[in-house]
Chains A and B, each alone.
Chain A
Amino acid sequence: MLSLILLIIGLFFFTSGALGIWRLPDPLSRLHAGGLGDTLGLGCLLLALILHQQDLGLTVKFFFLGLMVIIINPVITHLVASLEYKDINGGKGGAS
């Protein structure tokens, strides 16, 4: 039952992220919607699959997949945001 609730929450976050990246007017606000909704949605979905399967080997794989996504996705969002910030400010600022 908890896994079903977590799966529905994950699908809701995926939907909100995709609608945000489709409808928001500003590039930086689009970046906010796309970077946040995606990571949380995949985290909830992985937790739902762990609770539904109850298997140790699969749980280790799900854990490492979630760890990689939680590390990689904010890093990519930060890099794209610094690129956009540099573009707005005319070649100054932003992390290298």
Chain B
Amino acid sequence: MFLTVVNLGIWILLILTGVVLVRAFKGPAMTDRLLAVNMITTNLVALFLLLALQEGNWVYLDVALVFVLAACVATIAIVKFFQEGSLL
């Protein structure tokens, strides 16, 4: 029962990532695109967790940990670049 819902959730998260990607593609403002990319990151972390549970391979959990940190640094760097004009 749990694994059936996990398998369904993987497909749901893939469809939702596609939906958010539409907003990242056609968003009118720059902040829409930034927030959409951040939300895609969180969706992918949840996807990694469900994939790890489905395949029984918990290496995906370490991938999710590193992915969160890398995406955080990237988004903060982009916001700093647009606020102050340069990265340093």
Contact = CB atoms under 8 A, between A and B. Distances in A.
Q: Chain A contact residues: over half helix, strand or loop, or mixed?
A: helix
Contacts of B83: 82-83, 86, 96
Contact of B43 (A8, A18, A64, A84): A18
Interface residues of B, number: 42
Given A27-B32, A84-B29, A41 B19 contact: no
Interface of A: 3-4, 7-8, 10-11, 14-15, 17-19, 21-22, 27, 30-31, 34-35, 38-39, 41-42, 45-46, 49, 52-53, 58, 61-62, 64-65, 68-69, 72-73, 75-77, 79-84, 86-87, 96
Interface of B: 1-2, 5-6, 9, 12-13, 16, 19-20, 22-23, 28-32, 34-36, 38-39, 42-43, 45-46, 49-50, 53, 58, 61-62, 64-65, 68-69, 72, 75-76, 79, 82-83
